[in-house]
Structure 1
Amino acid sequence: MDVVGPVEKSKSGNRFMLVITDYATRYPEVFPLKTVKAKHVASSLIQLFSRVGFPQEILTDQGTNFMSTLLKQVYKLLGIRSMRTTPYHPQTDGLTERFNQTLKQMLRKFVNDTGSDWDQWLPYLLFAYREVPQASTGFSPFELLYGHDVRGPLTLLRNAWEGDQSKEDPVNIISFVLHMRDKLQQMSELAQSHMAAAQKRQKVWFDKKARHRSFAPGQKVLVMLPTSDSKLLAKWQGPFEVLRKTGPTTYQVSTPGLQRGSRVLHVNLLKEWVPRKENETEVLLIHRVEEEEEVNDYLPSVTSSVLDLSHLTSEQQSQVTPLITSDIFQECPGHTTLVEHSIVLKPDAVVKRMSYRIPERFRVELKEEMDLMLSLGIIQPSTSEWCNPVVLVP
């Protein structure tokens, strides 16, 4: 069970979708909701249970509506075991997450320009989805749930092609029930075998890129967590200490300074922390900035005019000192006229790269550099059609 939204507000005032999928039959159910409060979720569950019965387990994320006292009381009353996914790891409930993507893609093809009629299309789209056989089971969700082919759009199309067929002879109720029970048992066994084969194929593809990782209590790790309420702003934070292993793929990590003192996280959200050496920043000339790292950490800092040469031998210091005291190294760049070269351009070919905006925090530095190079005669204004964007390297 999962909640999709908020989406475009419909004419009925609905802004959320409660999506429920059955792992055994792949049968989906979607309830449009105005709010995702626990009482509305519980009401939708009762509507579903009145048609298909009570489940043994329900898997959800750790949303406040799913973790409420009201739903816990409903689960206890109906004998349902509540299961939770680890935070920020939607792969645990991959079946529902994948159906959410399919549902959104289907809705985009039918909603109006404003998207305010999305809740009116849900019954039609769900009917079409339930009638199509699933690759993992080999049967349609309708057929696995009810034990026979449901007369839907595909059945109507087939009848139109084949024409009206003669009706079969009626059978008594006992024969029908026995036949239905045998058919359900055969379909269940076939579906389980097909599902096992599909999962085996999926595991082979997953294992090609998967890497086994494990952490010991007391080990330092980096944790992928959102910096705010938005999941899109997640980045590696830490280092934090691993407290204990709570499951095959989950660890309890101490997170001091955050909202909660400790969290239970999936191993995919953890990576080993390797401390840097003390003199690494002094000898490193080029550092590849990772996607999640801050660029400001590598901006040049103001250094002292007196260089520390204590790490060199006395002979090396004597060789370096004349270079430092001479005019070889200057603060401003220069240019030479001793060597000239020409750039041969292809005729009738203009190279024009698409320009892009410079970050606001670099605007001042960019203007200072351009003014300096203009004053030194290194560059000059140009109206040529040839152009390339400026690339600032901290």
Structure 2
Amino acid sequence: MKLMLKRLCAERPRDWDKYLGPALFAYREVPQESVLFSPFELVYGWPVRGPMTILKELWTREITDPEVRSTYEYVINLRERLESTCELVKQNLEKASRKQSRIYNRKSRSRKIKVGQKVLVLLPTKANKLLMHWKGPFSIVEKISDLDYRIDMRGKLKMFHVNMLKLYVEREQTNVCVSAPDHKVGFVATVSVIDLENEDTDDVDNYESELIETPVAVAKETLRDVHINEALKANETVKVQCLLDKFSHVLTDIPGRTNVLQHDIKLTSDDPVRFKPYPIPYAMLDTVNKEVDKMIEMDIIERSDSPYSSPFVIVKKKDQSNRFCIDFRGLNSITIFDAETMGNIEEMFSKLSGYQFISKIDLTKGYWQISLVDAAKPKTAFPNT
């Protein structure tokens, strides 16, 4: 019955109560698995002619003629039919009970709860009576039998079956005191810091896709990091080194700037996007100021009085170093999506058949190498400390 009500509420959420009558009729018409008779037949002595029975009679033309009997004969036959039905129901219930008990005992185990122990009780929720969850803990007051216990539920004594109970185990209270006289005492502050090592991987990937990392100002990678194949001849190695020296200005992790194109940000609304800055601890203000000064020196950003404002955060990487990032999720939510499709990499590789050499170029922070048009610059503003 509960499964029927759940299905009814899911399929007809607005008017499920109007279908309770037909649902009850269908439930009482179907034979029960244990007794092999329908509730209608057990009460009235004959199977009810429901919609499916009438449809079957119309299709098969198995319509029996009504019998002409006296009232006395009808009552006697009905009584005999009910008695024989009850006898069959009793036998079927005994068989079904033995079968169900055998199946249940395969995985069941004996559980004993002592008086005074605390338990959780499986009860329906207040919002949904068909949804059960564990509530408690409550104390065991009395053991009525091996399967039934009386529980004190905030002053009211109620009896529950053992299957509705689960032993509640309290956590051990441990007091750990660590003394470190040789260490300096720091301070505690509310920090808007993201720890990538402890965050859930999927959430971090989704969150980081909206964060814009600032570029590096000091080169950590140069042409000296290029690996030259040792199988090359001496003159070939010299040619490769000369080629690397010629383009040494691009073989670095410091982003350059292209003059081929500029990027424009088109929005669905002209209302400026403003978000309150995230709280930054005093100890990290120097890090933030250094990052801002570095980007101004590299001519990546400029001071602005824009009405837009996207907050920035400090992301703590796995090596415990800090990373200054800008959270553009608010701006991205009103940005017009560019529907141009990206190329299929399999199709690109199929066009390279027959070529002897395939080169792969990894651009350093291409986001910072493309400048913005003048109209789009105010939209990327962030607050300074």
Alignment TM-score > 0.5, same fold: no
Higher RCO (Cα < 8 Å, 6 or more apart) = 2
Q: Under TM normalisation by the shorter chain, which class is it?
A: 0.3 to 0.5
Normalised by the length of structure 1, the TM-score is 0.41
Normalised by the length of structure 2, the TM-score is 0.42
Bigger Cα Rg: 2
